[in-house]
Amino acid sequence: MGKFLLLRMLCAVGGLFAVDGLVFRTGWYAGWMHPDSSTGHYERLIVHEREQAQAGGKRVLVLGDSRTGFLARIADERAAGRLRFGNAALGGTTPRCWYYLLRDMDPEANAYAAIVVPFGHYEDEEAVDDLRNRTGDLQFLAERLRLADAPAFVRSVSSLQAHVQAIRALAWKGFLYSRDVQDLLRSPSRRAQTIETYRNWAEWVYGYQGEARSLEGLEVDYARRKITFPPGLDERARADLMQALLWEPFQPKGWMYEYRKEWIGKIADRYRGTGTKLIFMRLPRGPVPRPAEWGRAKTSAAREIAGRVGAVMAPEAFFEELEQPRLFVDARHLNAAGMTRFSELIADLVLEQGL
């Protein structure tokens, strides 16, 4: 059915690959990327941490997502110069993103004295969304994934749709940048201004203090599945609390165990036998933690990995003092007071290791 057809189609697809590569794989476009995008934050973090590593001194990196309400400034004050903390807790990221972050941020695996890795639970409790198929990770990793990463990355997703999306994005990065390109074309001058505004991002993040409001007055009767909301809470916040606290326990399917074994395992293997100590910690579980007996997971990839590579596991109850409504701004995130205390405790935890 036409050898020239196949040839022409291959030429067109190959041409797309070449043009896409020139624009998006050479780093040229990175300079124009929206700084407030997932990729923008991720990239800025890598550049910033590389610069900090060159400044010398013993550095500690705290990984995490938005639930890791870490303030490096507070931890630095607590450490009083003995250690310097880096904050790599980026909202929306997952252990898969952390692995690639560390790979490119610390290529020699020697930039940090310790890396703190957070867990929601040490047991492999599962959420509704299967993290393996979270293709939103690609938005963070757009600049980082190379063609050589394709097999491992594609293998790490399980659904057909996620496979298709991953292959497409890894082959033609423009698919990942399309929204950003459209926004850039809408107003290049505004983009240039935004990029300029974000030049002071590092100082802004370092000086961030957190939100003052709290959930004081929140009470949860888990036996009756009833919540007494703090006064003045709007409908959306109430619905969010209901969803975050009262979901019915379900039997894990086992994907979280596999997922952690793969990606936390990769991080652990990367630092095995190096001078970097891995410290696992369980995050504060929420303003009013769900009953322990609601947990269903029997496995713990965290414990297995820690045992295998000699990582430190902070006591599960280490942050329990923070699990109170007055220290949370919503169902998942600490407020200013909570973040401050959380950061002090992290500094204490790391200092205890005698680094």
Partner 1 sequence: MLFHTWEFFFFFAIVLVLFYAGSAGARRWVLLLASYYFYGAWNPRFLPLLWSLTVVDYFAALWIVRYQGRRRKWALWMSIAANLGFLGFFKYSNFIAANVSWLLGVPQPAFDIVLPLGISFHTFQSISYVVDVYRGEQEVVRDPVDYALFIAFFPQLVAGPIVRAREFFVDYYHWKRPDAGQVQRGVFEMLSGLTKKMALADQFAVLADGYFANPSAHAGALAAWGGVCSFAMQIYFDFSGYTDIAIGAARVMGFHFPDNFRRPYFAGSITEFWRRWHMSLSRWLRDYLYITLGGNRGGVWRTYRNLMLTMLLGGLWHGASWNFVIWGGYHGLLLSVERALGITAGRWWRVPVTFVLVCVGWVFFRARTLGDAWFVLGEMMGASGGEWAVPLWLAALAGFGLLLPLRAVRERWMVAYGLVLLLILELFGVTDLTVPFVYFQF
Interface positions with partner 1 (CB under 8 A): 1-5, 8-9, 11-13, 15-16, 19-20, 164, 172, 174-175, 177-178, 181-182, 185-186
Write out the two tokens for 326. Answer: 């007055």
CB of 193 to partner 1, least distance (A): 17
First to last CA, the chain: 68
Name the minimum Å distance from CB 28 to partner 1: 15
- By beta-carbon proximity to partner 1, the closer residue of 157 and 339 is 157
- Segment 241-246 long-range contacts (CB within 8 Å, at least 24 positions apart): 241/215, 241/330, 241/331, 243/331, 244/286, 244/330, 244/331, 244/332, 245/220, 245/286, 245/288, 245/290, 245/331, 246/220, 246/222
- For residues 63 and 112, is the Cβ–Cβ distance under 8 A? no
Return the number of the residue (54 or 189) whose C-beta is nearest partner 1.
189
> Which CB sits closer to partner 1, 2 or 81?
2
Minimum CB separation of residue 145 from partner 1 in Å reads 16
Shortest Å distance, C-beta 172 to partner 1: 6
184 or 233: CB nearest partner 1: 184
User: Could you tell me the strand order of the sheet in which 59-64 lies?
Assistant: 84-89, 59-64, 114-119, 277-282, 312-313
The residue among 19 and 239 lying less far from partner 1, judged by its C-beta, is: 19
The nearest distance, CB 167 to partner 1, in angstroms, is 11
Burial 224-236 (b: 16+ CB within 10 A, else e): eeebebbeebeee
